[in-house]
Amino acid sequence: MKDVKWILKKYSFFIVLLVLIAIAGSIIFGKKESKQRTEVVWEPPVIIESQETETEDKITENTTKDFVKDSEEMPVWENSEPVSLLTAQEEQNLQDEAISAARQCIKHYQGISISNPYTGYSRIENFSDEQRKNVVKCLGEQGLVSVSDNINMENYQKMEEFYSVYTSGGDAMVTVFDVYREGNICAMTFIHRSGKIQSYYVSIDWQEGGVPEIKGSGTNDLKEIRLTEKGYFIYTNMIIVMHGNLREYYRVKPLSDKCRELTNKYVYGLSFVNYNMLVTNWDSSNVEDILMPCMFEDIYQIYTGERIKAENGQISAETYERIMTTCFPVSVEQLRKHCNYHVDTDSYEYEMILSRQFPPFGEVVDYTQNEDGTLTLYVDGVWIDYDSDYAFTNQIVVQPFEDGTFRYLSNIIEQKELELPKVTK
């Protein structure tokens, strides 16, 4: 103890000096670090543009100008929500309704497994299409408007009634229960009040044992809503969130099960923008005009039901030619001429399709069973991001085979609301 006192007495001046230096350094470097952190973290607001470059995606001059105008008028994306048209009690009532409706469907969630439970990335594993269909039906039986991808909307007349009141200028509200493919439910309420339109969502996730819980809720301002003659309810968001859509939709009017079946088998997965199979008039006489290496990726998945796995960027000639000569009226010689065949490896070069944001998709709206056993499919091109459910129409002739495979024989396309996408071969 005496030694300590002696040291303090003898070197007290230097100890105090070191302490003062340490404090001063902490203050100086603390300010510097704070300034550096501020400069790194702060970023200016970003305007999210949904449109793609004009050289790639110009549809019509007027459509593009309108779309650019819409984008320019879009406010900067913000974290803050708009002021809700609903009262706090009305929002609570919608949340109560959503969780109550979900609890009525618990039997369809029994035995589910949750990946990454109790996190923001939790999801139901292997939720089947049959389960999803049953949940839509269960919600519909409660008198609710319910829908899911590739499943007809239950109680769709309520959407038509809402839109009728909206177009007449009256106040109205309707809720759509959307069952996602992974089993989660979004209760989306559309409100028209005092000349303004909004949506209010309630997101419902599921826990182990089939227990529903509200994951989130919020309000969005809408710029426009439209119910098309064909039956698409298209709504335009006032603010586009990161990676979000300018426009979103529900198919309100039902589509026959047969048309859905034909769409899934022959049309789903084909592209209007990556190759010209659907945007060119062709048959066996000019089939070479549509042969592009990148189309094989989609044709392979339609034919096999699986994603392609190319080894060292190559696809064996046996696989490539077997599938393409089955699916199209083409010869091996034509394929080798147009599809990057390499004679030294007896293989075709794999050309990956670069995904395009919000492309059009086709749906079969009618069909004809021809006397020769072929089918003529009448397909509408739907391009929601350009506010069209009737952009163009196709007549696709296919020949089904007894083993379940089929061949595309021809295509005729006609421009309707929009110009055809330009695909460079």
Instruction: Report whether pLDDT(276) > 70.
Output: yes
State pLDDT tens for residues 240-266.
Answer: 776 677 899 999 999 999 999 999 999
Average pLDDT, the chain: 84
State pLDDT tens for residues 111-165.
Answer: 888 887 777 677 888 899 999 999 999 999 999 999 999 999 999 999 999 999 9
pLDDT at 328: 98
CA 176/CA 192 separation, integer angstroms: 15
The mean pLDDT of 49-55, rounded to a whole number, is 37
CA 140 to chain centre: 24
pLDDT at 423: 85
Higher pLDDT, 196 or 43: 196
Q: Are 233 and 118 in contact (CB under 8 A)?
A: no
pLDDT at 239: 85
Residue 15: pLDDT band with limits 50, 70, 90? low
Instruction: Report whether pLDDT(8) > 60.
Output: no
By mean pLDDT, which of 237-246, 274-283, 379-388 is the weakest?
237-246
State pLDDT tens for residues 162-209.
Answer: 999 999 999 999 999 999 999 999 999 999 999 999 999 999 999 888
Q: Are 235 and 247 in contact (CB under 8 A)?
A: yes
pLDDT at 208: 84
The mean pLDDT of 48-57, rounded to a whole number, is 36
185-193 and 211-227: which strand pairing? unpaired
Instruction: Report whether pLDDT(98) > 90.
Output: yes
The mean pLDDT of 222-249, rounded to a whole number, is 89
Helix (H, G, I), strand (E, B) or coil at 130: helix
Helix (H, G, I), strand (E, B) or coil at 241: coil
Q: Walk across the sheet containing 347-349 and list its strands.
A: 314-316, 347-349, 341-342
State pLDDT tens for residues 288-333.
Answer: 999 999 999 999 999 999 999 988 999 999 999 999 999 999 999 9
pLDDT at 125: 87
Instruction: Report whether pLDDT(415) > 50.
Output: yes
Q: Are 199 and 189 in contact (CB under 8 A)?
A: yes
pLDDT at 18: 56
Higher pLDDT, 23 or 176: 176
- Percent of all residues in the chain with a pLDDT value above 70, rounded to a whole number: 79
CA 78/CA 368 separation, integer angstroms: 50
Where do the structural domains in the chain lie, given as residue ranges?
A: 1-42, 81-254, 258-415
Instruction: Report whether pLDDT(64) > 50.
Output: no
The backbone torsions φ and ψ at residue 344, rounded to the nearest 5 degrees and listed phi first, read -70, -30
pLDDT at 353: 83
**Is residue 175 classed exposed, middle or buried when 0-12, 13-18 and 19+ CB atoms within 10 A define those classes?**
buried
Sign of the four-CA dihedral 319, 325, 326, 327: positive
> The tokens 């300010």 sit on which residue?
31
Instruction: Report whether pLDDT(364) > 90.
Output: yes
Instruction: Report whether pLDDT(7) > 80.
Output: no
Cα R_g (the chain), whole angstroms: 29
The mean pLDDT of 12-37, rounded to a whole number, is 46
